[in-house]
């Protein structure tokens, strides 16, 4: 017997993973801010966050937030609207819209990483 992933299961897993990623980011963010006690430490931390690896991490954060928000709206429509009939189409719409919004947000970050920005 072979396991088959359905769109509802994929949406559920991606929603939970994006939520966990956002929570993990918030924990790390609060921890890193709490150790910034003087201007020199702050400046060193900001230089670290300007490195390409962290800038690419911003794209990951953007992706998690955008997908989680749009999928949350889809869940609302499915649960409280008439979206249960169209849950598969709504999920694909969320994926497409997520890719568009993430791409639009990632372009300025990537330009900055590769020297084309600011």
Q: Which domains does the chain have, with CATH numbers?
A: 7-113 (1.20.1300.10)
d(CA 20, CA 14): 10
Distance of CA 50 to the CA centre of its chain: 19
Token duo for residue 5:
């992933």
pLDDT in tens, 61-94: 999 999 999 999 999 999 988 878 888 999 999 9
Q: How far apart are the first and last CA of the chain?
A: 55
Write the CB contacts of 63 (distance below 8 Å, at least 6 apart in sequence): 18, 98, 102
**Considering the entire predicted model, what is its pTM?**
0.86
Write the CB contacts of 73 (distance below 8 Å, at least 6 apart in sequence): 94
pLDDT for the residue numbered 85? 87
d(CA 34, CA 2): 49
């Amino acid at each position: 017997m072979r396991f088959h992933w359905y769109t509802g299961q994929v949406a559920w897993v991606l929603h939970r993973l994006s939520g966990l990623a956002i929570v993990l980011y918030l924990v790390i963010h609060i921890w890193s801010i709490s150790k910034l006690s003087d201007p020199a430490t702050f400046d060193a931390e900001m230089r670290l966050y300007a490195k390409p690896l962290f800038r690419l991490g911003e794209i990951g954060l953007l992706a998690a937030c955008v997908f989680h928000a749009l999928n949350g709206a889809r869940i609302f429509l499915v649960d409280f609207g008439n979206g249960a009939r169209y849950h598969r189409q709504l999920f694909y719409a969320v994926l497409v819209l997520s890719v568009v919004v993430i791409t639009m947000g990632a372009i300025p970050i990537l330009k900055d990483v590769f020297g084309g920005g600011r």
